[in-house]
Amino acid sequence: MEPAMDNIGSYCDIISWFEDVSENAPRVQTQTLRRILQLNFAVEYLKKWIGEVNVEDVEDSALESLYTSLVPLASHADFEPYVQRIVDGEKAPLITEEPITTLSLSSGTTEGRQKYVPFTRHSSKTTLQIFKLAAAYRSRIYPIKEEGRILEFIYSSKQFKTDSDITVGTATTHYFASDEFKIKQQQTKSYICSPEEVISSGDYKQSTYCHLLLGIYFCDQVEFIASTFAFSIIQSFISFEESWKDICNDIRDGTLSSRITIPSVRKAVLDIISVPNPCLAKRVQSKCEELEELDWFGLIPKLWPNAKYVYSIMTGSMQPYLTKLRHYAGDLPLVSADYGSTESWIGVNVDPCYPPEKVSFAVVPTFSYFEFIPLNRSENEDGKSAIDDFVEDDPVPLSHVKLGQQYEIVLTTFTGLYRYRLGDVVEVVGFHRNTPKLNFICRRKLILTINIDKNTENDLQLVVEKGSQILRKARAELVDFTSHAEIAKNPGHYIIYWEIKGEVEESVLEECCREMDASFIDHGYVVSRRRNSIGPLELRIVENGTFKKIMENFIANGAAMSQFKTPRCTTNQVLLRILNLCTIKRFHSTAYES
């Protein structure tokens, strides 16, 4: 087995380790699969398929083919009964030999149904490993000073115990509570501005205010700005626009706003800022007054003059926030964080100098055993490729992927998921030595479909971008969006909800609606619209603050701020009720009228 990264110290050593496992990626993948099976060969799920096969007797050359011939592809539904038995208190090894005492909880923002995913010590270890590895590659492009600080908008949500003493919470919350996170805090070259009490307060509004206050207090020491998702950074700076005067008052007087009511948080923050600093307060106030005149353009480099970059997940559902993030960042580089899921980390960004739109991720072959289902576009009778109308081939191992080919990822993890279809569609855009570099394309799951139409999140984002280009020409801004396939009445139709900033004439919004309807290129949608088996697209404008209400609703139900993602399409009735109650204008497309 290739050496683990647990005890590797320097950045040079970490990169050397990854270069080695990347060079030997096919062999490392076989060893990773063998290790997973050795650890878990006797669990109920595997015995169901493998029976009495002794993994130790199988040669490396035959292991992968034997495993994939015996164990079927699976989805979350296949593991759900086993996970439920764990929740109910069953102690027998069902999916892992390692006892599962912790479960990650998805936010459930899309369908309103939260899912349990196994979380073990291995989950925390690989999170620490990928953080170290990514930091090593970033340091080669953007070296940072030792003893500097990071303004990191991270949040824990509440954990709870089941009747069988299983700890349940979000994956980020589990990581922030882990020994591995404490190790990261001790070993990192820079220090997070906020103490643990702020991260774990459980109240994202109070935590955000304190993150911002302490970020300003240490503004000259901050080396970069970070959060799990780009969404969190934007929400934090929107909050800063509203609260900067209070922050300046706190710094000037060495006090803490009465909005911070949690005793442990108040004490932790006041221990840091209790010495008045009127010079800093005056300087920040002057800069904020200038920034207000500029609509806060370049806020980050103006207030944090030594920051080298902004770092977070910026791909997938975060991509629509890039325009706003660049507004705040000015000329400061945006560096996309690494590629993973609640189930497993997958790849690291080895090219941090690339913009988020061009980023790819080199697969880390020690994290899980990876398979890839080749996906080929089918063609309609007119020769056009149908969006997401994929024809599947048999899964291939990492060593058999081809440049330019799109795949769905399949995971076999150390945490008890075997040949698990992740649902992510990726494209192989290159290789880092012998491990593939992946570009995230979209989630496989269709999010908008009524008839024969098939549209993914990626398709929706492209359509919304077409409409928002018209909006920007009218000097307005798209704050956030989601969608819904309305089938209560016949014919069904798509509804796209927009929250916008700025005054816009109705004729402009009508044009946006028409443009979005005409921009869906899926053949099934186009045909259905022409035949009126799908009705005109509807654009609903919601009042300011609507998407904040949605976020707060899901945080109240257990989602962490740092893990929250606005769903791009939803059937969740609670969410739809909020959207519909907050709708202030409606428009219907005339794109297909003769």
> SS3 sequence, 161-209?
ECCCCCEEECHHHHHHCCHHHHHHHHHCCCEECCCHHHHCCCCHHHHHH
Look at residues 479, 497, 475, 478 and name the one whose alpha carbon lies nearest to residue 238: 479
**Residue 148 has what pLDDT?**
86
165 part of a folded domain: yes
480 part of a folded domain: yes
Q: CA dihedral defined by 236, 239, 243, 244, rounded to 10 degrees?
A: 50
Same-domain pairing of 539 and 429:
no
**Residue 191 has what pLDDT?**
79
60 part of a folded domain: no
Q: What is the DSSP letter of 271?
A: H
Q: Give the count of domains, the chain.
A: 3
Domain C-terminal end among 418, 443, 468: 443
DSSP E strand stretches across 487-574: 493-501, 538-542
Same-domain pairing of 475 and 430:
no
Same-domain pairing of 154 and 247:
yes
**Residue 388 has what pLDDT?**
46
490 part of a folded domain: yes
Domain C-terminal end among 443, 471, 504: 443
224 part of a folded domain: yes
Same-domain pairing of 149 and 297:
yes
Domain C-terminal end among 443, 471, 490: 443
Same-domain pairing of 380 and 277:
no
**Residue 401 has what pLDDT?**
94
Same-domain pairing of 555 and 436:
no
39 part of a folded domain: no
Q: Which residue has the tokens 């058999």?
A: 400
Same-domain pairing of 324 and 400:
no
Same-domain pairing of 424 and 463:
no
Same-domain pairing of 255 and 300:
yes
Same-domain pairing of 382 and 489:
no
Rounded Cα–Cα distance for residues 318 and 146 (Å): 30
Which domain range does residue 269 map to? Answer: 143-332
Rounded Cα–Cα distance for residues 460 and 319 (Å): 12
**Residue 386 has what pLDDT?**
44
First to last CA, the chain: 66
Same-domain pairing of 316 and 267:
yes
Give me the half-sphere count of Cα atoms (radius 13 Å) on the Cβ side of residue 191: 12
Look at residues 409, 410, 407, 370 and name the one whose alpha carbon lies nearest to residue 391: 407
Rounded Cα–Cα distance for residues 416 and 342 (Å): 13
492 part of a folded domain: yes
**Residue 1 has what pLDDT?**
42
Reduced to 3 states (helix: H, G, I; strand: E, B; else coil), residue 100 is coil
Written as one letter, the residue type at 543 is: E
Rounded Cα–Cα distance for residues 384 and 59 (Å): 46
pTM of the model: 0.81
Same-domain pairing of 401 and 476:
no
Ranges of the chain whose pLDDT falls below 70? 1-9, 106-114, 171-172, 174-190, 377-391, 446, 558-563, 594
Tokens standing for residue 97? 């030999």
Look at residues 295, 321, 256, 283 and name the one whose alpha carbon lies nearest to residue 568: 321
Check: CB of residue 416 under 8 Å from CB of residue 79: yes
Written as one letter, the residue type at 170 is: T
